[in-house]
A and B are shown apart, each in its own frame.
Chain A
Amino acid sequence: MSGRTTAARLSPEERVKGFEEIERTLTPVQATIEASRCLMCEDAPCNKGCPAGIDIRSFIRKIRFNNIWGGIRILREANIFSGVCGRVCPTDALCEEQCRSQVLTEPINIGALQRFLTDFEADLGARKRVAAEKLPHKVAIVGSGPAGLAAANELALLGYAVTVFEASSRLGGAMTAAIPSFKLPNSVVEAEIDLISELGVEFKPDTPLNDDLTIDDLFERGYEAVFIAVGLGKPFPLEIEGENLQGVYSAMELLAAAKGLHGSQSTKVGKNVIVIGGGSVAVNAATSALRLGAERATLVCLEAPDEMPAFSEDVELAWREGVEFLTRVRPVRFLHNGKDGVAGVEGVRIDWKEPGEFVPENAVDVEGSMLTLPCDNVIVAIGQGPDDNAIMQFQSLKTNVRGYLLVDEDTLMTSRPGVFAGGDVLHNPISRTVVQAVAYGKHAAHSIHDYLNGTNQ
């Protein structure tokens, strides 16, 4: 039994020179070899691991038996962002986790097979999708990240007139603003948004919810249901000394600069960058910093390597590109350069009070372990919360104290009838991944469908 087939990759030396996509697509021969390793398990543990509900067993079988368009159909029926997810899903923690092929060798490379199909479709041109007969209902989607767009896609297929309101000038949310292009080129996202657009979904960029456009206004304009999927716009601060020094950026700012987004030109990356945080966003910030000109990128986090919440694939990638990891360290303050610029980070080594609880409150400083790290930039990547402007617009909706929306778990309906919410803006999302956002979008779409057709009233 042969091992896992992987696509060709740019070498670490080549790839840090720019933002070219690191991984290639599988060749047809490779895809057939990989698909024919699949044991086609009757109970399909892979399927159970997919939040978007893709029938993975079936699409792999379709590659194996050369029914390529059938495989594409299976993907698109379940996940309109299959090309995105084939690239960015943490498959080892989802579909591949229980894959029985690892009893023989290694799990099937499900992400690469998925991408093989969507790349094939992109090369040949997507087949036309047919929506159900038009329904006399308008639905407003607020936010054009994967949750909002997946909901728009699903509702449009069901026959609804859908309008997507987006605060920024760009569609796609984190897919086009935060996930580095060397993992996910914008063209892939744009092509999948085009598929949604072809169903007749209307997009309104540069249209945030504000005092001129409230949830009340949406209902007044004839929208009968609203889906809020605005994500998280506000980076958490560390709340330590020196955080306002010049050269200190949030991960969102750095990643926006790496994506070349409008307004990010002021983010200047020096030779020696320190990133604070242990998640995938922090790791992506470190590898992006190398591409923006940093000669050295050091990731500083509370967790030991095997405790970091970052996806193992991201850590592996960063490690090979030369990112340094300084783990079980708590930043104490940022040092200045004698003026108002940052010049270093002072930190202290930590231990955990209770084993297995990797949260700041559980950290205890190791005495006499203070260390000083010189740097030109600090990137703070310890997470985001709901945007203040968004919270203002939620006023009529129930949130928790930190501004996260509270919803009925079964329907995703907020405290206001007809207003639904999903994705990262929820108080306690299952995970903050594209595929989980897609799952929320699909869930919300079907709840809205039930709501507007009276089955839940």
Chain B
Amino acid sequence: MMYQEPEVDLSVEYCGIRFENPFVLSSAPPSDSYEMVKRAFDAGWAGAIMKTTSVESYQVDISYPIMTSMDYEEKKGVALGNIDNISEWHMDVMEDAVRRLKDEFPTKVVGLSLWGTTNRDHWEELTKRSVDVGADLVEVSMSCPTDSPFARASLMVGQVPDDVKRVLGWVKERSGKMPVVAKLTSQVTDIAEIVEAVEEAGGDGVCASDTVHGLLGIDLDTFIPNPSINGKSTFCGVSGPVVKPITLRTLAMIAKGSGIPLAASGGATTWQDCAEYMLVGASTVQFCTAVMHYGYDIVEDLQEGLAYFLEHKGLKSSKDLVGKALPNIVAHGDLLVKKDVVTSIDEAICTKCGMCYYACRDGGHQAYELAEDGLPKPDPDKCYGCALCVEICPVECISLVPRR
């Protein structure tokens, strides 16, 4: 390294386990084999939760293709949808992966993600074997596969507090000192209720949140949703940048009500995303879609970017970020009621495109006029300071200033 590196500590702690940095591969396709995770560890990832696995007698049926995506205008893959199931490798292969990875990378964290359907024996066997092979932690997959075997087909384990308690209880019975993490879905009416169930069952941590159940699009020629498998499709798990606001909100809701260790998952692409997830209480940040899109190498930019950011903020450790935004999140009713800002336009930068004018006319408070030469002129008396124009301006020349 030719440059003096920032003197900061990227390491974090989660469920009593030290991670070299907050960046972890989530239980997903990028962590489906020893060989893949080895390459990820070489690239700099601090840990990996192996793709969800099952006992050898469980038949894994996957219908290919499993991937679909949503583009927005020119941007490819703002949402990725999968109808993947769990790994086609069973516990024996994953045990071998954990053994080899822990042997070659003693400072890295290797977790297993388990799936045992409604079968208590499966859950107990998987847990015992995880302990025996030396996994650092296990995640209990509660929202993928997306069909709950317990109740109606539209529900997931993680949506029913009693099911959460039941499955976690089975796992905790056999887990000994190994931490047990509940991987939750954000798609519940009250996430606090689910987290309470996790705590009651003795869960050591939470990972929030899994993919969002969705339907990414429908082919307008055939009327078949994507992806089509012999003319039929099904609901998929949505991931990618589009789910970031949901993950942020879920993390914040959990962290404001509970002190349970939190891992973030869903929608992170850059180090900024990670910093934001940590600011609402996450200790580690899991990645999948960004890796599937851009490769393991992005971890170099995550580490370097976060290190320079911490230095810039005068912070010594990434631990210092955890939860720092939580006091700034209050209920809507607790916000001050005020209208003391108005828009201001930097006319030197303005391109006179008029987008602010239309947005304000049809989506705001009709505060804009267009001057003869096309320059937008907001009337401070009509402007509520709603910020719509600030957000949509393509050249970012609009700001909010105190109302005079």
Residues of A within 8 A of B (CB): 1-2, 29, 36, 40, 61-62, 65-70, 73, 76-77, 127-130, 157
Question: Quick check: is B301 within 8 A (CB to CB) of the other chain?
Answer: yes
Contact A67 B74 (CB under 8 A): no
When distances are taken between beta carbons in the complex, the residues of chain B under 8 Å from A128 are 3-4
Contact A65 B305 (CB under 8 A): yes
When distances are taken between beta carbons in the complex, the residues of chain B under 8 Å from A66 are 270-272, 301, 305
When distances are taken between beta carbons in the complex, the residues of chain A under 8 Å from B1 are 73, 130
When distances are taken between beta carbons in the complex, the residues of chain A under 8 Å from B302 are 65
* Shortest beta-carbon distance from A288 to chain B in Å: 29
Question: Quick check: is B396 within 8 A (CB to CB) of the other chain?
Answer: yes
When distances are taken between beta carbons in the complex, the residues of chain A under 8 Å from B300 are 67, 70
Contact B2 A77 (CB under 8 A): yes
Instruction: Given A40-B294, A69-B304, A70-B300, answer yes or no on A2-B3 (Cβ-Cβ < 8 Å).
Output: no
From 58 to 111 in chain B, residues with beta carbon under 8 angstroms from any chain A beta carbon are 74-75
Instruction: Given A1-B74, A40-B294, answer yes or no on A157-B2 (Cβ-Cβ < 8 Å).
Output: yes
| 7 closest residue pairs by CB, A with B | A67-B305, A67-B301, A65-B301, A70-B304, A69-B308, A127-B3, A128-B4
Contact with A along B347-368 (1 / 0, CB 8 A): 0000000000000000000000
Contact A29 B294 (CB under 8 A): no
Question: Quick check: is B298 within 8 A (CB to CB) of the other chain?
Answer: yes
Closest to B4 in A: A128
Partner of B2, one of A40, A70, A130: A130
Closest to B293 in A: A40
Complex Cα gap A125–B357 (Å): 39
When distances are taken between beta carbons in the complex, the residues of chain B under 8 Å from A29 are 395-396
Complex Cα gap A29–B393 (Å): 12
Question: Quick check: is B250 within 8 A (CB to CB) of the other chain?
Answer: no
* Shortest beta-carbon distance from A44 to chain B in Å: 12
When distances are taken between beta carbons in the complex, the residues of chain B under 8 Å from A77 are 2
Partner of B74, one of A2, A40, A61, A157: A2
From 1 to 33 in chain B, residues with beta carbon under 8 angstroms from any chain A beta carbon are 1-4
Q: Which of A68, A69, A128 has the most CB of B within 10 A?
A: A69
Contact with A along B127-165 (1 / 0, CB 8 A): 000000000000000000000000000000000000000
Complex Cα gap A36–B75 (Å): 9
Partner of B269, one of A65, A70, A157: A65
When distances are taken between beta carbons in the complex, the residues of chain B under 8 Å from A70 are 300-301, 304-305, 308
Contact with A along B162-191 (1 / 0, CB 8 A): 000000000000000000000000000000
Contact B271 A67 (CB under 8 A): yes
Contact B2 A129 (CB under 8 A): yes
When distances are taken between beta carbons in the complex, the residues of chain A under 8 Å from B4 are 127-130
| Pairs A–B under 8 Å by Cβ, sample size 23 | A1-B74, A40-B294, A61-B294, A62-B301, A65-B270, A65-B271, A65-B298, A65-B301, A66-B271, A66-B305, A67-B271, A67-B301, A67-B304, A67-B308, A69-B308, A70-B301, A73-B1, A73-B3, A73-B304, A76-B3, A129-B3, A130-B4, A157-B2
* Shortest beta-carbon distance from A195 to chain B in Å: 11
Complex Cα gap A210–B298 (Å): 54
How many B residues face the partner with a CB closer than 8 A? 21
When distances are taken between beta carbons in the complex, the residues of chain A under 8 Å from B305 are 65-67, 69-70
When distances are taken between beta carbons in the complex, the residues of chain A under 8 Å from B396 are 29
* Shortest beta-carbon distance from A407 to chain B in Å: 28
* Shortest beta-carbon distance from B93 to chain A in Å: 28
Contact B272 A73 (CB under 8 A): no
* Shortest beta-carbon distance from B75 to chain A in Å: 8
When distances are taken between beta carbons in the complex, the residues of chain B under 8 Å from A130 are 1-4
* Shortest beta-carbon distance from A38 to chain B in Å: 11
From 293 to 342 in chain B, residues with beta carbon under 8 angstroms from any chain A beta carbon are 294, 297-298, 300-302, 304-305, 308
When distances are taken between beta carbons in the complex, the residues of chain A under 8 Å from B301 are 61-62, 65-67, 70
Closest to B395 in A: A29
When distances are taken between beta carbons in the complex, the residues of chain B under 8 Å from A129 are 2-4
Closest to B295 in A: A40
Complex Cα gap A130–B308 (Å): 17
* Shortest beta-carbon distance from B297 to chain A in Å: 8
* Shortest beta-carbon distance from A71 to chain B in Å: 9
When distances are taken between beta carbons in the complex, the residues of chain B under 8 Å from A69 are 304-305, 308
* Shortest beta-carbon distance from A229 to chain B in Å: 22
* Shortest beta-carbon distance from A29 to chain B in Å: 6
Complex Cα gap A221–B206 (Å): 70
* Shortest beta-carbon distance from A394 to chain B in Å: 34
Q: Which of A36, A65, A76, A130 has the most CB of B within 10 A?
A: A65
Complex Cα gap A36–B269 (Å): 13
When distances are taken between beta carbons in the complex, the residues of chain B under 8 Å from A1 are 74
* Shortest beta-carbon distance from A168 to chain B in Å: 30
* Shortest beta-carbon distance from A3 to chain B in Å: 10
Complex Cα gap A69–B308 (Å): 7
- Contacts A67-B301, A73-B3 known; 8 new A-B pairs at CB < 8 A: A66-B270, A66-B301, A68-B308, A69-B304, A69-B305, A70-B305, A73-B2, A128-B4
